Chain A
């Protein structure tokens, strides 16, 4: 009693402020400014039904264990475990302005980079054992780069083998937090954008970023420069002679073997154009102004150099999935392009991929590529003659030729079509069903679900590590372990080895 009397004013203040803050929070949640996406009854829009049924507050189901994205500005570090987070962005629209003066921006990024990259290395080495061990005698299609052995994903503490792990039920793996194949984030998902491999940056210093470098070791990336095979000139083999195709040499290389339309398309695929962060304005992530990026800067020689990006199809930036560059080889066979956007033709792709962050507003501010229909059609014309690398062990029905294949490859093929059930989704000339599937990987860990992703083709797959949309599986052996767990296949060690050998033959 005495205490209350003595501190009446203090207590009154506390009660007032606490109730005030509490009620403000309830009213603020779910408004346009808030980053917590609670749907509340909309009163501002004209509603023809006056009072919609069930228009009361909907709570976010299934996010109880997730955290709300941290507050960030462009350039600020974001968590590596972004799967643990959810939330709304301030706005769907980007701005071409930096949050500070350009000189400060350069300083800020330069100061942040060393610690960021040290943390990225520690994180990646904590997840993967990049020991650069190659599979004896196996090379990518250019014949120069060895193919890495795996799995290199580290097992969780207390689990002695992938077989032990695969024996556990999904619920148990989730409960004990044992899943080793969680998503991979872009190291800096506030700025995000393209990150090129070191081998590329060494030759193309205009793509050296102030803030971040590639986080995957060179050994686990595709060969550079990769060979290019044409559907129209199978007899010529690799038409590049081991060189990178550039705006300077493409004509010499292709004159007399491709059509004028294809030549025009190839030129456009090689012509750099401004992007969100590689351009001539101060909204850039390079010290010097840049001419931008060309399609074949990532899809080098019609294949990939392993550069990664964020898929443009979601907001806020922290919700966008990391995607590594898929090959363009054999894209002529695909009905479904890109991981989530379900783009149906390569002509169309060349149109939409003008702006990699999917932000037409930014395009206006920074400089549009403004390619006309005819031009994007021609880019599509060139894309559609990029062939798969040779697979001499496959017959026209895409089955192994017994005389040419090894015992192990043949056993692997049997697993692929049998116990492994891979052929349920991976079949036909490209080994894809051209559907998007929700693998429901979140059954195995607490995290924001990634939703349906297209079945990426497996023809020529040995040439395009790392695997999965975000490159979280550095080798084919990791991919096999991943599917063994995710599809609860319970493959034996031998079956998994055979499956890897089979995938190498595709």
Chain B
């Protein structure tokens, strides 16, 4: 079972780790604008752009490492779901950037976000079975 999803796991790990790492280097990530602005706006400007980006970078790198090393699937799954939910926020807080014409004519940024449904499905396919089987095991042990 695990071997079948290994490829998917590494792929997710690479993308999360790589694109997360980029965000530590000021001005290098192409997602900087939308990521910073979204976090700033969503946090009601409690964060400044720097903090926002560092926060997101750390979040993504942890998820990336989680996928690559396959550790703590439950924790990573939670972080992953949270992150995935976060990536869809710009559709609502910056519809002007995400859509040429909402909701069926996205801009390039909009497409970048909407394609995350594939990520969501992939992450689910990798992590959910592990959590479920572990959860069952522990329940069995309790008995």
Contacts and interface: CB of A to CB of B under 8 A. Distances in A.
Interface SS majority for chain B = helix
B100 A101 contact: yes
Nearest to B14: A13
A104 B95 contact: yes
Contact of A10 (B36, B41, B68, B97): B68
A24 interface: yes
Task: Please tell me the size bucket of the interface on A.
Answer: 20 to 34
B27 A21 contact: no
Interface string A13-43: 1100110010011001100001110000000
A9 B67 CA distance: 12
B33 A21 contact: no
Task: Please tell me the size bucket of the interface on B.
Answer: 20 to 34
Contacts of B41: 77
B25 interface: yes
A371 interface: no
Nearest to A9: B10
Nearest to A69: B49
Nearest to A21: B21
A13 B28 contact: no
B11 to A, nearest CB: 10
A36 B28 CA distance: 10
B27 A13 contact: no
B72 interface: no
Contacts of B95: 104
Given A18-B21, A100-B96, A115 B44 contact: yes
B10 A108 contact: no
Contacts of A29: 27
Given A34-B27, A71-B49, A77-B45, A14 B17 contact: yes
Interface string B23-44: 0011110001100110011001
Given A10-B10, A13-B10, A36-B27, A104 B96 contact: yes
A7 B17 CA distance: 15
A17 B40 CA distance: 28
Interface string A250-263: 00000000000000
A367 to B, nearest CB: 26
A68 interface: yes
B50 interface: yes
A9 B17 CA distance: 14
A68 B48 CA distance: 12
B134 interface: no
B22 interface: yes
B53 to A, nearest CB: 9
Given A13-B10, A13-B13, A115-B44, A35 B27 contact: yes
Nearest to A34: B27
B18 interface: yes
Interface string A177-208: 00000000000000000000000000000000
A105 interface: yes
Contacts of B40: 77
Contact of B50 (A35, A67, A77): A67
A17 B96 contact: no
Contact of A71 (B22, B32, B68): B32
A107 interface: yes
Contacts of B119: none
Interface in B45-88: 45, 48-50, 65, 68-69
A7 B21 contact: no
B32 A13 contact: no
Contact of A70 (B25, B28, B48, B68): B48
B69 A7 contact: yes
A19 to B, nearest CB: 11
Given A10-B68, A67-B50, A71-B33, A25 B96 contact: no
A76 interface: yes
Contacts of B32: 71
A70 to B, nearest CB: 3
Contacts of B68: 7, 10, 13-14
A7 B67 CA distance: 11
B37 A76 contact: yes
A70 B23 CA distance: 13
A269 B28 CA distance: 47
A105 B44 CA distance: 20
A284 B21 CA distance: 38
A108 B21 contact: no
Interface in A65-112: 67-68, 70-73, 76-77, 79, 99-101, 104-105, 107-108
A104 B97 CA distance: 9
B94 to A, nearest CB: 8
Contacts of B44: 115
Contacts of A14: 17, 65, 68
Interface string A397-408: 000000000000
A70 B36 contact: yes
A328 to B, nearest CB: 38
A119 B45 contact: yes
A31 to B, nearest CB: 10
Contacts of A71: 27, 32-33, 36-37, 49
A25 B49 contact: no
B13 A21 contact: no
Contacts of A77: 40-41, 45
A29 B22 CA distance: 13
Given A21-B21, A35-B27, A71-B32, A10 B13 contact: yes
Given A13-B10, A13-B17, A28-B28, 11 more contacts: A13-B13, A21-B28, A24-B28, A29-B27, A35-B26, A67-B49, A70-B36, A70-B49, A71-B32, A105-B96, A107-B96
17 contacts: A7-B68, A9-B10, A10-B69, A13-B14, A13-B68, A14-B65, A36-B27, A67-B49, A68-B26, A68-B27, A70-B48, A71-B27, A71-B36, A72-B33, A72-B37, A77-B41, A105-B96
